[in-house]
């Protein structure tokens, strides 16, 4: 029986993963080791009971009594805290879903890789923050990372059986989000509710807002660079409002392999779950005749500065990805709390990167996880300062 763990089980990716596990036979077909969550204790306990998990872990220690209560009599162990989440990654499991949001997903993912596991990686922030370390850890320990982000799963699928040396370019698509056609003046006034309303995908609120600002695509550019190793000039973004073509890979003979699928993360999760085989995945089948047309456009760098900032990080590498992601997370927190405007998010990230480049240097490589976590911490402090300054200036 295959054993699995799901980090971030209560989130959007986690729920989709649980749905596939349930449809695949649940506790009768899989040995479920660890399920983790943060605020949604009741849902975590419910899943852990249903799937007969070995252990359920919540991120915050204050939630432990509530989790224990909810699991009373179930035989599922309860644990809490960031260290307990990391320890859950030490428990043997054949397949591990990295579905926590933000840099909090980095340490558990690393721990799973150190044990040589197969890691289904939805948590793009860990590749942005510590790409070279993560990839090296997988190599050294014989672990496998399977991309779950839809664009990266698409590139992975388009590359299967191909010679990576014959690749000329990689194109990841972007829906353009809810603000695709908004003028700059209107973007400055965009609200949290408007930014959360993604036209095609149903996702967690943080990634939905990142899609509206194109910070999600910015993270994905860096993710593409780190995961596949292609140089920045080979990686492009293409706006495609229907979200049907997820990525394209162009080869030196002029041929292009495109990956198409419905806007349902269960395709990419199911692909990773069944890999290297192709298993049945219950997503809606594409009906191109019904869709009629698919459209494409170049992204607008002036309205979406996140893309330009990502290019700088892709060139610089070193610790710049850790700084970029952390600053973005803090800017997003401040926007969600109504303290800064929509466009201020990019301004906070840009200012943080400029300041850290002068004060700490961003180009040097991390020698270990400690360097990455130190930069993550410093960037959060500096981004908080930048955001407060911006709030006062409003
Ligand atoms: P959600 O916000 O829906 O879920 C996040 C999960 O992480 C929840 O289980 C949440 O727990 C948990 N969590 C939050 N904070 C912490 C923390 N500090 N420590 C431990 N766990 C925490 O996010 P998504 O599912 O949308 O996204 C998850 C990851 O997948 C992100 O990296 C995202 O970029 C990536 N991704 C998501 C896609 C999507 O369609 N949703 C598509 C491609 C990539 P709780 O809910 O209990 O608070
Ligand atoms: Mg994506």
From 9, 10, 12, the mutation candidate for ligand 1 (largest count of ligand atoms within 8 A of CB) is 12
Compute, in angstroms, the gap from residue 9 CA to the centroid of ligand 1: 8
pLDDT at residue 360, as a whole number: 84
The β-bridge partners of 260 are: 245
- Residue whose CA lies nearest to ligand 1 atom number 32: 123
Q: What is the pLDDT of residues 9-53, one digit of tens each?
A: 999 999 999 999 999 999 999 999 999 999 999 999 999 999 999
Cα gap 138→51, rounded to integer Å: 28
pLDDT at residue 54, as a whole number: 98
pLDDT at residue 71, as a whole number: 98
Tokens 């095609």, located at residue: 200
Token couple for 23? 């449809």
- In angstroms, what CA-CA distances link 277 with 23, 271, 272, 295? 17, 8, 9, 32
CA-based torsion, 117, 121, 127, 132: positive or negative: positive
**Contacts of residue 236, Cβ cutoff 8 Å, sequence gap at least 6:** 169, 170, 171, 172
Rounded to the nearest 5°, which phi and psi values hold at 237? -115, 140
Least reliable range by pLDDT among 38-52, 227-241, 358-372: 358-372
pLDDT at residue 201, as a whole number: 87
Of the chain, the percentage scoring pLDDT greater than 90 comes to: 97
Spell out which residues line ligand 1, taking CB within 6 angstroms: 8-14, 37-40, 59, 85, 99-101, 104, 122-125, 149, 201, 203-204, 206-207, 265
Q: Report, as an integer, the average pLDDT of 206-214.
A: 97
Token couple for 298? 């170049």
Residue 319 has pLDDT above 90, yes or no: yes
Cα gap 299→172, rounded to integer Å: 11
Q: Under CATH, domain 2-147 is a member of which superfamily?
A: NAD(P)-binding Rossmann-like Domain (3.40.50.720)
Residue 263 has pLDDT above 90, yes or no: yes
Q: What is the pLDDT of residues 125-145, one digit of tens each?
A: 999 999 999 999 999 999 999
Q: What is the pLDDT of residues 137-171, one digit of tens each?
A: 999 999 999 999 999 999 999 999 999 999 999 99
The DSSP element (H or E) to which 385 belongs, if any, is: helix 369-392
Q: What is the pLDDT of residues 54-110, one digit of tens each?
A: 999 999 999 999 999 999 999 999 999 999 999 999 999 999 999 999 999 999 999
Compute, in angstroms, the gap from residue 28 CA to the centroid of ligand 1: 26
Per the CB < 8 A criterion, the answer to whether 318 and 363 are in contact is yes
Residue 394 has pLDDT above 90, yes or no: no
Residue 379 has pLDDT above 90, yes or no: yes
Residue ranges of the chain assigned to CATH 3.40.50.720: 2-147
Ligand nearest to the CA of 101: 1
Of the chain, the percentage scoring pLDDT greater than 70 comes to: 100
Cα gap 125→219, rounded to integer Å: 7
Cα gap 391→394, rounded to integer Å: 5
Token couple for 69? 């209560």
Q: What is the pTM of this model?
A: 0.97
Cα gap 325→321, rounded to integer Å: 6
Q: Report, as an integer, the average pLDDT of 384-391.
A: 97
Compute, in angstroms, the gap from residue 148 CA to the centroid of ligand 2: 8
Cα gap 119→138, rounded to integer Å: 9
* Residue 28 CA neighbour count, 13 Å, CB half: 4
pLDDT at residue 69, as a whole number: 98
pLDDT at residue 167, as a whole number: 98
Q: Report, as an integer, the average pLDDT of 161-184.
A: 96
The DSSP element (H or E) to which 184 belongs, if any, is: helix 184-187
Residue 393 has pLDDT above 90, yes or no: no
What is the overall mean pLDDT for the chain?
A: 97
Compute, in angstroms, the gap from residue 15 CA to the centroid of ligand 1: 10
Q: Report, as an integer, the average pLDDT of 317-341.
A: 98
Cα gap 141→254, rounded to integer Å: 37
CA 318 to chain centre: 20
Least reliable range by pLDDT among 76-90, 113-127, 325-339, 356-370: 356-370
DSSP string across 37-93: ESS-HHHHHHHHHHTT-SEEEESSGGGHHHHHHHHTTS--EEEESHHHHHHHTTS--
**Contacts of residue 389, Cβ cutoff 8 Å, sequence gap at least 6:** none
CATH number of 318-393: 1.10.1740.10
pLDDT at residue 369, as a whole number: 95
**Contacts of residue 27, Cβ cutoff 8 Å, sequence gap at least 6:** 50, 51, 52
């Amino acid at each position: 029986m295959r054993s699995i763990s799901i980090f971030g089980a209560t989130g959007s990716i986690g729920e989709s993963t649980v749905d596939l596990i349930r449809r695949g036979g649940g506790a009768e077909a899989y040995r479920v080791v660890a399920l983790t969550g943060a605020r949604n204790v009741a849902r975590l306990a419910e899943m852990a009971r249903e799937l007969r998990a070995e252990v359920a872990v919540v991120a915050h220690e204050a939630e432990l009594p509530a989790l224990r209560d909810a699991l009373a009599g179930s035989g599922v162990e309860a644990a809490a805290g960031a260290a307990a989440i990391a320890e859950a990654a030490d428990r043997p499991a054949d397949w591990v879903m990295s579905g926590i949001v933000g840099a909090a997903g980095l340490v558990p993912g690393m721990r799973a890789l150190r044990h040589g596991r197969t890691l289904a990686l939805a948590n793009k922030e860990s590749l942005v923050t510590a790409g070279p370390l993560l990839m090296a850890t997988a190599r050294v320990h014989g672990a496998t990372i399977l991309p779950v982000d839809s664009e990266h799963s698409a590139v992975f699928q388009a590359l299967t059986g191909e010679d990576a040396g014959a690749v000329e370019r990689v194109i990841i698509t972007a829906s353009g989000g809810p603000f695709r056609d908004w003028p700059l003046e209107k973007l400055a006034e965009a609200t949290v509710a408007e930014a959360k309303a993604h036209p095609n995908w149903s996702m967690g609120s943080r990634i939905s807002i990142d899609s509206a600002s194109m910070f999600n695509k910015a993270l994905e550019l860096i993710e593409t660079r780190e995961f596949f190793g292609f140089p920045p000039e080979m990686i492009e973004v293409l706006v495609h409002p229907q979200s049907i073509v997820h990525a394209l890979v162009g080869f030196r003979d002029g041929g292009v392999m495109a990956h198409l699928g419905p806007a349902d993360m269960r395709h990419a999760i199911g692909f990773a779950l069944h890999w290297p085989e192709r298993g049945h995945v219950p997503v809606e089948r594409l009906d191109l005749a019904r869709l009629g047309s698919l459209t494409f456009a170049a992204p607008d760098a002036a309205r979406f500065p996140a893309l330009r900032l990502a290019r700088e990080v892709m060139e610089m590498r070193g610790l710049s990805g850790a700084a970029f992601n952390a600053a973005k997370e803090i800017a997003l927190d401040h926007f969600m709390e109504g303290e800064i405007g929509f466009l201020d998010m990019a301004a906070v990230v840009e200012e943080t990167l400029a300041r850290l480049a002068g004060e700490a240097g961003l180009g040097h490589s991390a020698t270990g996880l400690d360097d990455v976590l130190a930069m993550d911490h410093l960037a959060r402090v500096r981004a908080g300062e930048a955001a407060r300054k911006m709030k006062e200036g409003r």
